């Protein structure tokens, strides 16, 4: 811990025992809830010497979602469960190989298509529950937690391994269920039980072992029965028995199969039964919600049996499910640990490996996210785009990241079906009308002592909503047949147009879509070739249309698309895909809204920006919604219409296909440089000159469409990762006698930002990985001196080093410019040494000149283009790297960028370089040239607010430039804003001061209008200064003079001090040179 951090609060401790005495041993969650209310966002527990840091707020838990800084850990109770299932899917440590193999094998079994294929089995078990409640009658007392546990256990067993426990045919729960409950309770207890106490409980240990052995025997029995009586159904058990890991080529061992079989039986029913029970409670406790849900179900289903297609038509049911999981997530906590020593929330120091417990139950009620009614059950907060608009990681009932619940789609469909069926069929009543929620806790949480009665509804005639069309293809579609179809199409010859269908898929949904397009190609006059995206890396064909179907997995590409995406995002050429005609369909899940469609969008935009022609707008399918397949169906129809029109195809003959191969990528440059981890591609929308023709110095206005997910505020910065001027790259190539197409392989003994150990273009390295214009260092000069081959050159270089400030820094002489001064033979410098001398390319930061109220998705920059005679050699021109890179951009170009927030507070301003929250507070702003950028954003923001009917304080703007006929940028719009009463512009023209009240510079106009300054300052105005340091110093000097005019008794020093007192907390600067 450092002096800048604060201690983490904790409840009282007892030596050796720690905080354990304050626990509710039956339901520790109750303790955690109370401690969170007492201690706030974070507290620390000591359990027999083991330190646990509990995080309760959205802010801290969201921070821990950074998987670069924190890793998932296995919680103590789950660690006990490992005694049974070892490295099963939800108890494995992150580095265990079997987890990766099992995860890759089983993910396809939980894709949208596979889950849809399980509907009939789910309905089989659901009908058993409904039948039981109907036959027992409304006088029967129901324990919903028990019945829902029977249902979910039977459902996961039947759907995943075609095994029936027949729980609803037994008076008591199955022996397996009993053994499992007892085993999990003991695991939970052992997690907080000292080893010395555990050693004194032989009876509990014996029962623990007995239950373990029984469950293991059941698992082995299921496996042996399947081996003795094989079936063709592609369920989880068959996948585990016969599947081969596509990455390693390995199969799961029989022990691993058994452990994962038990994993699914445990994890596949506990949380779903908890969700169903909590939903039943909240619906019964909130009659209005129950009514709304019932009306929705009645409208969609009526009295008809619920069909798969019906589930997608019940948005309120989804909202109820989401709200239930918010208020009462059955898995109320998860655990993590920092990878290295770190500071949480900017103030809480935690050591590497510290056990962090993330209190999702508390976070889901954080009022900063959910409002003052966070503890109320209100499904409406999940409707009409509100759920999608939540901050990242604010809703986490299924865990987080790669280790999130693999079966969430399975559980989602199961719960939808069961709750829709229950609400459709029954009126529900509390046995105890005064019952309020109580909790019981094992590994998960459920309502306790919650009992109901269910009475069948007497439903009259109601509107029958016909189901939507079934888009699902046969679940076990034969891939060999797909290939044969394509091969047949390719072999018949003729005039059929080649069609390349590429997919990126982990779970199989995208692949099945791709197969479908491939199969349908012949009837539309195309010969299809099917392959993964990775198989096309580096050689995207242009002799026929390219159709790409791909998914996003929490922001990342599919395993078989990673290489393609990496290649695509690193392409330096803007015309590489000229001649390529393409269409993209993206699969995503809106529950992870911040990464929704990221990969397909990136592919779609990058192909177009690099010269490709889009044949059809990108399709978007949300696998979390029932219309997922319907959306694709419509998109496919539109695709065939676009393709047949573009290629005038017929079905007369078939042409030969094209073999697709692979290559490498481009936003990787930002990652390699380790500067902008969040840099993504924005799109140039406009690039225009602001200054008049013939003016001295060019200023440009650039508009960018921000990458998806980026937001900004007025006063923020846009960070750009530029490229060197092509002229300077050619100078290097010429000096070393290299071709711009030459490929080299670099090796490095230490870390470097330059690509190593692989072929790479020297042109690409020089263009974007190193700075060519930075002044040489003294160390650089020493290297050049040692490399000198003549005394005269050595002497000249030594003179440069001796007069470094004057001859290097002042004239900004780069290593390249120094080399060009001497004949190449006079300095024997190796290319590798030269590259080592160059600093890595750095980002450039520019003040944003627009307001998000104008356009939240777009930003503008106002840039002075640096193109001036070289101080080192007057016969040459110096080109600023960042400004010239921006100057040369064309609409449609992709630019690596990120938004950097302006500090919210500073030593001189309570709000940093941002407008005050009080709209009526006046502003005094000083700017010159392109320094107008952030001030323009402020004026634009208040103009938008004014247009919305709000009263705003006026901005008194002092702006300096050469003349109104040369470089008075944004003159027309400033005039319009003046008419609105938003801004009052006081100009100063250095080359036409007769047009600015005789004032040459901003500080002169400030003095001229000092009375207005006094009046506005007296109204508590906030002051902004933006421009060069020279402008800032001049303005502050004149302000001091004004202060002395008010207080003539003060000397210069005293006046400056008085000025600082007057402006304390009221001014901010954005100064650059």
Residues annotated as binding site for heme? 405
Q: Are 797 and 836 in contact (CB under 8 A)?
A: no
Residue 291 to residue 423: CA distance in whole angstroms = 10
- The 10 Å CB-count burial string (b at 16+, else e) for 1018-1044 is eeebbbbbbbeeebbebbbebbbbbbb
Among the options 70, 208, 398, 632, which is catalytic? 398
Element holding 744 (H helix, E strand): strand 743-745
Q: Which of 654, 708, 703, 389 is nearest to 499 (CA)?
A: 654
Cα–Cα distances in angstroms (integers) from residue 498 to residues 201, 490, 503, 606, 966, in the given order: 72, 8, 16, 23, 56
Residues in the chain: 1073
What the block records as the tokens of 964 is 């109104």
3-class secondary structure, 984? strand
For the chain, how many helices (H) and strands (E)?
Answer: 37, 32
Residue 1039 to residue 1037: CA distance in whole angstroms = 5
Q: What is the radius of gyration, based on Cα positions, of the chain?
A: 34
Dihedral sign (CA 84, 87, 93, 99): negative
Q: Which residues are annotated as a binding site?
A: 405
Report H helices in 749-864: 762-768, 778-787, 791-802, 804, 815-821, 831-837
Query: What dihedral do alpha carbons 796, 799, 805, 807 form, nearest 10°?
Result: -30
DSSP secondary structure code for residue 848 in this structure: B
578 is catalytic: no
What the block records as the tokens of 839 is 């600093």
Among the options 73, 263, 271, 444, which is catalytic? 271
271 is catalytic: yes
What the block records as the tokens of 811 is 């004239």
Q: Which of 730, 749, 731 is nearest to 741 (CA)?
A: 730
Q: Are 571 and 893 in contact (CB under 8 A)?
A: no
Q: Which of 166, 150, 154 is nearest to 121 (CA)?
A: 154
**DSSP letters for 964-977:** TTTS-TTHHHHHHH
What the block records as the tokens of 698 is 């060019």
| Neighbouring residues of 468: CB distance < 8 A, sequence distance ≥ 6 | 309, 312, 313, 626, 627, 630
Residue 700 to residue 702: CA distance in whole angstroms = 6
Q: Phi first, then psi: give them for residue 889, nearest 5 degrees.
A: -70, 145
Residue 472 to residue 309: CA distance in whole angstroms = 11
Residue 88 to residue 248: CA distance in whole angstroms = 18
Residue 544 to residue 496: CA distance in whole angstroms = 10
Q: Which of 305, 283, 281, 343 is nearest to 144 (CA)?
A: 281
Q: Which of 657, 659, 546 is nearest to 603 (CA)?
A: 546
Q: Are 187 and 79 in contact (CB under 8 A)?
A: no
- How would you classify the pairing of strands 955-961 and 923-928? parallel
Residue 604 to residue 586: CA distance in whole angstroms = 9
Look-up of token digits 């585990």: 240
398 is catalytic: yes
**How much of the chain is helix, strand and coil, in % rounded to 5?**
45, 15, 40
Residue 870 to residue 811: CA distance in whole angstroms = 8
Among the options 126, 159, 187, 405, which is catalytic? 405
| Neighbouring residues of 465: CB distance < 8 A, sequence distance ≥ 6 | 299, 300, 301, 302, 310, 313
Number of neighbouring beta carbons within 10 Å of residue 287: 9
Which neighbouring-strand residues pair with 582?
546, 614
Q: Which residues are catalytic?
A: 271, 398, 405
């Amino acid at each position: 811990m450092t002096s800048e951090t604060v201690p983490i609060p904790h409840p009282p401790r007892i030596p050796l025992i720690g905080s354990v005495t304050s626990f509710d041993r039956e339901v520790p969650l109750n303790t955690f809830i109370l401690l969170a209310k007492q201690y706030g966002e974070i507290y620390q527990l000591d359990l027999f010497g083991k330190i646990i840091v509990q995080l309760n707020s959205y802010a801290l838990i969201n921070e821990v979602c950074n998987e670069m800084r924190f890793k998932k850990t296995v919680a103590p109770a789950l660690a006990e469960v490992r005694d049974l299932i070892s490295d099963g899917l939800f108890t494995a440590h992150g580095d265990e190989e079997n987890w990766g193999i099992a995860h890759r094998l089983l993910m396809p079994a939980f894709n949208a298509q596979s889950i849809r294929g399980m509907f009939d089995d789910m309905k089989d078990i659901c009908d058993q529950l409904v039948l039981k409640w109907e036959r027992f009658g409304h006088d029967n007392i129901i324990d919903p937690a028990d019945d829902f546990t029977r249902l979910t256990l039977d459902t996961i067993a039947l759907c995943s391994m075609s095994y029936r426990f027949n729980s609803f045919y037994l008076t008591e729960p199955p022996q397996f269920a009993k053994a499992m409950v007892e085993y999990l309770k003991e695991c939970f207890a052992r997690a907080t039980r000292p080893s010395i106490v555990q050693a004194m409980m032989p009876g509990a240990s014996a029962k623990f072992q007995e239950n373990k052995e029984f469950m293991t025997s059941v698992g082995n029995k299921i496996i042996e029965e399947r081996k003795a009586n094989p079936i063709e159904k592609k369920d989880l058990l068959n996948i585990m028995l016969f599947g081969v890991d596509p990455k390693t080529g390995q199969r799961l061992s029989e022990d691993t199969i058994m452990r994962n079989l038990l994993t699914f039986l445990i994890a596949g029913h506990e949380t779903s039964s908890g969700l169903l029970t909590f939903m039943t409670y909240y619906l019964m406790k909130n009659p209005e919600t129950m009514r709304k849900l019932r009306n929705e179900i009645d409208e969609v289903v009526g009295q008809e049996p619920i069909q798969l297609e019906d589930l997608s038509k019940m948005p309120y049911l989804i909202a109820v499910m989401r709200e239930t999981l918010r208020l009462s997530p059955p898995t109320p906590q998860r655990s993590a640990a920092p990878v290295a020593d770190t500071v949480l929330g900017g103030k809480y120091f935690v050591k590497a490996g510290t056990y962090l417990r993330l209190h999702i139950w508390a976070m889901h009620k954080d009022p900063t996210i959910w409002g003052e009614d966070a503890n109320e059950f209100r499904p409406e907060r999940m409707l009409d785009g509100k759920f999608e608009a939540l901050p990242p990681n604010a809703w986490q009932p299924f865990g987080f990241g790669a280790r999130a619940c693999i079966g969430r789609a399975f559980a989602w469909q199961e719960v939808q079906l069961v709750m829709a069926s229950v609400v459709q069929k029954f009126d529900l009543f509390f046995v105890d009308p005064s019952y309020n929620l109580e909790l019981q806790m094992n590994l998960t949480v459920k309502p306790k002592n919650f009992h109901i009665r269910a009475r069948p509804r007497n439903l009259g005639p109601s509107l029958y909503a016909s189901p939507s069309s079934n888009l699902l293809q046969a679940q076990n579609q034969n891939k060999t047949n797909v290939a044969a179809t394509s091969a047949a199409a390719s072999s018949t010859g003729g005039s059929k147009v080649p069609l390349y269908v590429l997919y990126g898929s982990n779970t199989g949904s995208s692949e099945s879509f791709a197969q479908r397009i491939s199969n349908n190609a012949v009837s539309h006059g195309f010969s299809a070739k099917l392959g993964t995206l990775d198989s096309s890396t580096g050689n995207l064909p242009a002799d026929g249309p390219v159709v790409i179907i791909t998914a996003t997995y929490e922001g990342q590409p599919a395993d078989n698309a990673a290489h393609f995406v990496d290649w695509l995002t690193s392409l330096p050429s803007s015309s590489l895909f000229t001649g390529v005609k393409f269409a993209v369909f993206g699969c995503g899940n809106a529950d992870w809204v911040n990464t929704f469609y990221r990969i397909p969008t990136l592919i779609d935009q990058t192909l177009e920006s690099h010269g490709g022609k889009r044949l059809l707008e990108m399709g978007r399918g949300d696998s979390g919604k029932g219309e997922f397949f319907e959306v694709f169906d419509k998109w496919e129809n539109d695709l065939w219409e676009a393709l047949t029109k573009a290629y005038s195809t017929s079905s007369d003959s078939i042409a030969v296909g094209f073999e697709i191969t692979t290559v490498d990528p481009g936003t990787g440059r930002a990652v390699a440089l380790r500067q902008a981890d969040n840099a993504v591609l924005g799109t140039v929308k406009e690039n225009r000159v602001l200054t008049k023709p013939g003016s001295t110095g060019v200023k440009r206005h650039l508009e960018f469409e921000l990458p998806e997910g980026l937001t900004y505020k007025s006063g923020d910065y846009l960070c750009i990762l530029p490229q060197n001027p092509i002229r300077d790259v050619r100078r290097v190539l010429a000096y070393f006698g290299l071709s711009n197409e030459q490929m080299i392989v670099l090796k490095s003994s230490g870390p470097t930002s330059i690509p190593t150990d692989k072929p790479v273009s020297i042109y690409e390295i020089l263009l974007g990985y190193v700075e060519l214009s930075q002044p040489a260092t003294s160390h650089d000069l020493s290297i050049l001196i040692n490399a000198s081959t003549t005394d005269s050159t050595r002497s000249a270089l030594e003179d440069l080093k001796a007069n470094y400030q004057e001859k290097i820094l002042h004239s900004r002489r780069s290593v390249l410019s120094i080399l060009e001064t001497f004949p190449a033979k006079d300095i024997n410098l190796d290319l590798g040494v030269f590259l080592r001398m160059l600093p890595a390319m750095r980002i450039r930061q520019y003040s944003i000149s627009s307001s998000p109220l104008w356009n939240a998705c777009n930003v503008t920059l106002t840039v002075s283009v640096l193109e001036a005679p070289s101080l080192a050699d007057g016969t040459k021109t110096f080109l600023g790297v960042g400004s010239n890179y921006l100057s040369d951009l064309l609409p449609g170009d992709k630019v690596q960028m990120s938004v950097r927030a302006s500090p919210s507070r500073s030593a001189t301003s309570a709000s940093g370089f941002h407008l005050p929250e009080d709209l009526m507070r006046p502003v005094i702003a000083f700017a010159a040239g392109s320094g107008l950028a952030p001030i323009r954003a402020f004026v634009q923001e208040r103009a938008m607010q004014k247009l919305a009917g709000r009263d705003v304080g006026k901005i008194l703007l002092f702006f300096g430039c050469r003349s109104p006929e040369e470089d008075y940028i944004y003159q027309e719009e400033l005039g319009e804003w003046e008419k609105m009463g938003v801004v009052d512009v006081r100009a100063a023209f250095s080359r036409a001061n007769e047009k600015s009240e005789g004032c040459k510079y901003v500080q002169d106009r400030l003095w001229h209008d000092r009375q207005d300054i006094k009046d506005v300052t007296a109204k508590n105005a906030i002051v902004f200064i933006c421009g060069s340091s020279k402008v800032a110093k001049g303005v502050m000097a004149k302000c001091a003079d004004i202060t002395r005019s008010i207080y003539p008794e003060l000397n210069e020093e005293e006046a400056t001090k008085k000025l600082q007192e007057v402006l304390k907390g009221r001014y901010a600067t954005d100064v650059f040179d």
